[in-house]
Homo-oligomer: A and B are copies of this chain.
């Protein structure tokens, strides 16, 4: 694990965000299965935190991020969105900081420079991210875009068209393939017949790099190097971060198509435990780790409480809001 490039305070911060994301999503599992959520079925990124936190950490606030739907929790937390605001979406409460969507991954906020999925069409977001990079380049704003998507998504036509366009215009964008080895019940090897997804970059003539996606620091370093290339005008990079989908595809998926042994193997590779070991090796006292863990748990508990105290977001609210937007558009 390369750690030289990050200060201890950064490492601690990364650890804190990963943990927060984990605890947040574990709480969602609990709330969902006890019938307390009012949202689109959660599709969680438990076990994949190293990819989103590693990829999106350390950018400038002006840089745009466009996260894969699975992992959006962590991405928003990297952008310092209070957990309460995210929790509101799951609990069907009014968020003050976010648009009132019904799913975190479909949420976009141009103040925080976070572009979520705009439709549920996988791959569509890659094109929009490429467009943001085009906008940045045309406007000479110096912004870089980091966009992530799943392994299964790389089989979509949009992936191909978008990466090609980014190559042709040498856009300031980094593509991160969050290869969690499954797309619903399809193993990546059945859908992608070239061993490494990073090889798909060959088709566009820009670098493709495979990295251990459970090693947050490796992900971070690789993406940061690609960000620098992008900022220097050298164009896109495809980073494949190999991780594993510890969660079922969605919380409604009984996940019967995978062997328990496989999950067990990957549980041992947990990216959070791994970073914990690094921190310990760097001399962080156990106490401080426990402290961070406790703080994260507290923050999530508080987020639930605060969210619950917010007014319900009813379908009527959305109807009213959208009707107002409709009138603005057409009148």
Q: What residues make up the interface of A, taking CB atoms closer than 8 Å to B? A: 155-161, 164, 167-168, 190-195, 199-200, 202-206
A190 touches which one: B156, B168, B199, B200 (CB < 8 A)? B168
Q: How many identical chains are in the complex?
A: 2
The closest CB in chain B to the CB of A186 belongs to B168
Asked if B205 and A203 make an inter-chain contact with CB atoms under 8 angstroms apart, the answer reads: no
A168 touches which one: B191, B199, B200 (CB < 8 A)? B191
What residues of chain B lie closer than 8 Å to A160, measured between beta carbons? Answer: 155-157, 159-161
What residues of chain B lie closer than 8 Å to A204, measured between beta carbons? Answer: 193-194
Query: Which of A159, A190, A193, A194: most chain B CB closer than 10 A?
Result: A193
Query: Which of A167, A195, A199, A204: most chain B CB closer than 10 A?
Result: A204
Q: With A and B bound together, what is the CA distance between A137 and B271 in angstroms?
A: 43
What residues of chain B lie closer than 8 Å to A195, measured between beta carbons? Answer: 205
The closest CB in chain B to the CB of A158 belongs to B157
Asked if A202 and B205 make an inter-chain contact with CB atoms under 8 angstroms apart, the answer reads: no
A193 touches which one: B199, B200, B205 (CB < 8 A)? B205
Q: With A and B bound together, what is the CA distance between A161 and B158 in angstroms?
A: 9
What residues of chain B lie closer than 8 Å to A206, measured between beta carbons? Answer: 193
Asked if B161 and A157 make an inter-chain contact with CB atoms under 8 angstroms apart, the answer reads: yes
Q: With A and B bound together, what is the CA distance between A160 and B167 in angstroms?
A: 16
**What's the minimum C-beta distance from A177 to chain B, rounded to whole angstroms?**
12
Asked if A156 and B161 make an inter-chain contact with CB atoms under 8 angstroms apart, the answer reads: yes
What residues of chain B lie closer than 8 Å to A164, measured between beta carbons? Answer: 155, 191-193
30 contacts between A and B (CB under 8 A): A155-B160, A155-B161, A155-B164, A156-B160, A156-B161, A157-B157, A157-B158, A157-B159, A157-B160, A157-B161, A159-B160, A160-B160, A160-B161, A164-B192, A167-B193, A168-B190, A168-B193, A193-B205, A193-B206, A194-B202, A194-B203, A194-B205, A195-B205, A199-B202, A199-B203, A200-B202, A200-B203, A202-B202, A202-B203, A203-B203
Q: With A and B bound together, what is the CA distance between A203 and B240 in angstroms?
A: 14
**What's the minimum C-beta distance from A175 to chain B, rounded to whole angstroms?**
14
